[in-house]
């Protein structure tokens, strides 16, 4: 069975003081839950918090990662951060291809392909995000869009053991609308099929595919109960320790069941 991963994307939220308080609270709550040692827990704060967060999580099981990276190793790229700089912080994961990067910053698959290789080439794990817009879904193009986001970015040269995929329907991110468990499972199945064509079935069966899009304590158990949903990428709910740990608890309960 794939070990679940619950990842929190803090986006552009949290000062240092807020971050320390949140981590302390999450850590205390995790200590009171059964089965959380069977779940990987990751937080992805803004770049400025990575160094202090390395210290704040040092004695806890919480891992930390970055929300983005530049594809080049160094150079005249004002405002950007390279993967080697991220490695300096001790972080283990990097999110690439988040829909906000696609929609608000105009980044495209060719760039994500380079970022994925920069991250995995440096020995870090990439969480590569895919997902359709509402217009895509209503136009019956979900499979086509997601397949393209996968095949234009993920090739057999990407180390599969450093790859996590996150399916995040754009219409469900930060909107309070969640894909039904059946809708999410259907797309996760397609993504696993795509991974099997790129790698092979045994490799595809090892890669974790997270669901993201308004995951909350109230819907986490049902989503995580689906065969191809191996965890969650959580936005809003990860900023509230009670909610984030309740989602982790749902993943732990699945493992204990
Ligand atoms: C996200 O930003 O990746 C996300 C899933 O956000 P939310 O949980 O708020 O929909």
Domain boundaries, the chain: 5-256
Residue 168 Cα: closest atom of ligand 1:
5
Q: Is 70 designated active site?
A: no
Helices in the chain by DSSP H: which ranges?
16-31, 50-56, 83-89, 99-104, 109-121, 134-138, 142-151, 181-198, 201-206, 217-224, 241-256
Verify whether ligand 1 is closer than 6 Å to residue 44 (CB atom): no
Fold (CATH) for 5-256: TIM Barrel (3.20.20)
242 is catalytic: no
Task: Answer for the pair 41, 30: CB distance below 8 angstroms, yes or no.
Answer: yes
Helix%, strand%, coil% for the chain, nearest 5: 50, 15, 35
Whether the CB-CB separation of 127 and 93 falls below 8 Å is answered with yes
Q: How high is the pLDDT of residue 135?
A: 94
Q: Whose CA is nearest to atom 3 of ligand 1?
A: 235
pLDDT score of 255 = 85
The pLDDT score that the predictor gives to residue 91 is 98
Q: Which ligand 1 atom minimizes the distance to the CA of 129?
A: 3
Residue 134: what pLDDT?
Answer: 93
The first and second tokens of residue 238, run together, are 């990860």
Q: Which two tokens stand for residue 208?
A: 């974790």
Q: Is 204 helix (H, G, I), strand (E, B) or coil?
A: helix
pLDDT at 160: 98
Residue 34: the pLDDT is 84
Catalytic residue among 98, 100, 132, 188: 98
User: Does the C-beta of 212 come closer than 6 Å to ligand 1?
Assistant: yes
Tokens of 17: 């003081």
Are 125 and 119 a contacting pair, CB within 8 Å?
A: yes
Tokens 């698959």 belong to residue: 109
Nearest CA to ligand 1 atom 1: 235
pLDDT for the residue 210: 98
Supply the pLDDT for residue 257.
Answer: 80
Q: Residue 175: its pLDDT value, please?
A: 86
Q: Is the CB of 214 under 6 A from ligand 1?
A: yes
- 236 C-beta closer than 6 A to ligand 1: yes
Each as own residue / partner, the long-range contacts of residues 68-74 (CB below 8 Å, 24 or more positions apart, any chain) are 68/94, 68/95, 68/96, 68/98, 68/101, 68/115, 69/94, 69/96, 69/115, 69/118, 69/119, 70/115, 70/118, 71/111, 71/114, 71/115, 71/117, 71/118, 72/118, 73/118
DSSP H or E run through 43:
strand 40-44
Q: What integer pLDDT is reported at residue 98 of this predicted model? A: 98
Which residue puts its alpha carbon closest to atom 7 of ligand 1?
235
Report CA(215)–ligand 1 centroid distance (Å): 7
Walking along the chain (257 residues) 10 residues at a time, the average pLDDT comes out as 95 97 96 90 98 96 98 98 98 98 96 98 98 95 98 98 98 88 97 98 98 96 97 98 97 88
């Amino acid at each position: 069975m794939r070990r679940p991963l619950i990842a929190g994307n803090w986006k552009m939220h949290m000062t240092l003081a807020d971050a320390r308080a949140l981590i302390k609270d999450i850590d205390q709550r995790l200590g009171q839950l059964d089965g959380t040692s069977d779940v990987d827990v990751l937080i992805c704060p803004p770049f400025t918090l990575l160094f202090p967060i390395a210290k704040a999580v040092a004695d806890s099981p919480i891992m930390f990662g970055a929300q983005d990276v530049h594809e080049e190793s160094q150079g005249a790229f004002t405002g950007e951060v390279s993967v080697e700089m991220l490695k300096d912080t001790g972080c283990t994961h990097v999110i690439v291809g988040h829909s906000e990067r696609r929609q608000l910053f105009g980044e495209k698959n060719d760039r994500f392909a380079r970022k994925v290789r920069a991250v995995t080439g440096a020995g870090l794990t990439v969480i590569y995000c895919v997902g359709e817009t509402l217009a895509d879904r209503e136009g019956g193009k979900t499979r086509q869009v997601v397949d393209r986001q996968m095949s234009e970015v993920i090739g057999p040269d990407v180390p599969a053991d450093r790859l996590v995929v996150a399916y995040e329907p754009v219409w469900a991110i930060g909107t309070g609308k969640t894909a039904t468990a059946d809708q999410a499972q259907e797309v996760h199945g397609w993504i696993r099929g795509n991974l099997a064509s790129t790698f092979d079935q045994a490799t595809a069966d090892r890669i974790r595919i997270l669901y993201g899009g308004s995951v909350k304590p109230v819907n986490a158990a049902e989503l995580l109960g689906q065969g191809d949903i191996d965890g969650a990428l959580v936005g809003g709910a990860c900023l509230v320790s009670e909610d984030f740990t309740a989602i982790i608890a749902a993943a732990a309960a699945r493992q204990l069941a």
